[in-house]
Structure 1
Amino acid sequence: MAQHFLRYGDESMAVGGSFPEAGQLLPSFMLVDEHLRDVALERFLGRTKLIVTLLSLDAEQGGLALLQQLRRKLEGWPLLQFIVISVDSPFSLHRARKEHGLPNVVLLSTLRGRDFHKHFGVLLQDYPLAGMTCPALWLVDDDDRILYAQRLENADDDFDLAAIRNALLAKLPG
């Protein structure tokens, strides 16, 4: 598989790790929520999930604005569980929830799950964002099989909403 890069302003940064693709089972994880509780992927078994990694909820590019745009465009899917993962501390996640609401969104930190970056192929390896998570998403079915996966190539880009909708529609029974 070719090396992936994220463009952020004038910088092009290598992204490391093994990116799970459509058709594969999503690797398990254990991350931390805004209340300092450990949360495993298995907690969401039986639900269709949209798992999104962001640079940071505080980032101007690849952050909160990207998440809010995604939520607005997918409002018609109320049973879709949004899970947002970033390197932000649980305290920052708590502050973001208080300031922006983010109803029906699970916010998780990689604070105690540093292996997540490599297992999900979102580890930014180069300065100035080394150690952060590349903006990416996985649409995952009730049994944790990936229906659609995308990693952004530019922090200014948006996710492919048409492809996400198509994958959701293809999942619907008959």
Structure 2
Amino acid sequence: MATTKLKGNVVNLSGAELNVGAVAPVVKVVAQDLSEVEVGGQKGKAQIIVVVPSLDTPVCAAETRKFNEEAAKIENAEVTVVSMDLPFAMGRFCTTEGIENLTVASDFRNKAFSKFYGVLIADGPLAGVTCRAVFVVNASGVITYKEICPEITEEPNYEGALAAAKDATSTSCCGTCQ
């Protein structure tokens, strides 16, 4: 079972443990307008899937703002921030923060994304929400970068994720060769 930490205390994660080289499962999450959005799978462009516990925390808000700013700079890529927030709260956050270059989505209905991607916190004070993670999926639907942040209260490795996203925008390789 995968783990992360919350303020230094180990918390377990539940669900499938996906790694680099695996095909990213196609999962439906809920957009701020209550429509369904698909993440994962083969889309013909790179995907940056940013996972946060809640947009209503300073670290998650800062992370979302940073990816919103940087997303506009990467051609042939889409960014989706997945949390357990209700769509109404996500909409309010995006309006207040001026988030326009990425999609926010919620896994609140059935937690399918969290289970398929192995990012559901299984115990501790945040049990039932997502940990902090970043997945980059290439145009062929293969995971080329994965970071489960070792400490939930700290931001991810932006440089690593963004570099992987730029590499993943290439459509010349299916991602399975080395």
Q: TM-score range by the shorter chain?
A: 0.7 to 0.9
Correspondence 1:18-167 to 2 at 5 A: 18-41=16-39, 45-61=43-59, 63-73=60-70, 75-167=72-164
When residues 8 and 146 of structure 1 are mapped into structure 2, their CA distance, relative to the original with a 3 A threshold, is: same
Note the aligned Cα RMSD (angstroms): 2.4
- Matched positions, count: 171
| Counterpart code for 1:82 | V
SS at structure 2 position matched to 1:107: strand
- Alpha-carbon shift at residue 73 of structure 1 (Å): 4.9
C-alpha distance in structure 2 between counterparts of 1:76 and 1:40, whole Å:
22
TM-score, length of structure 1 as denominator length: 0.85
SS at structure 2 position matched to 1:138: strand
Q: Per-residue CA shift, 1:5-41, capped at 9, x if unaligned?
A: 2222253311122232111110110111101112223
SS at structure 2 position matched to 1:21: coil
C-alpha distance in structure 2 between counterparts of 1:147 and 1:53, whole Å:
16
Percent sequence identity is 23
Give the structure 1 partner of residue 176 of structure 2.
Answer: none
1:30/1:113 contact within 8 Å kept: no
| Counterpart code for 1:64 | A
SS at structure 1 position matched to 2:5: strand
| Counterpart code for 2:82 | I
| Counterpart code for 1:138 | F
Of residues 44-53 and 73-82 in structure 1, the stretch that sits farther from structure 2 once superposed is 73-82
Give ranges in structure 2 of 5+ residues lacking alignment.
174-178
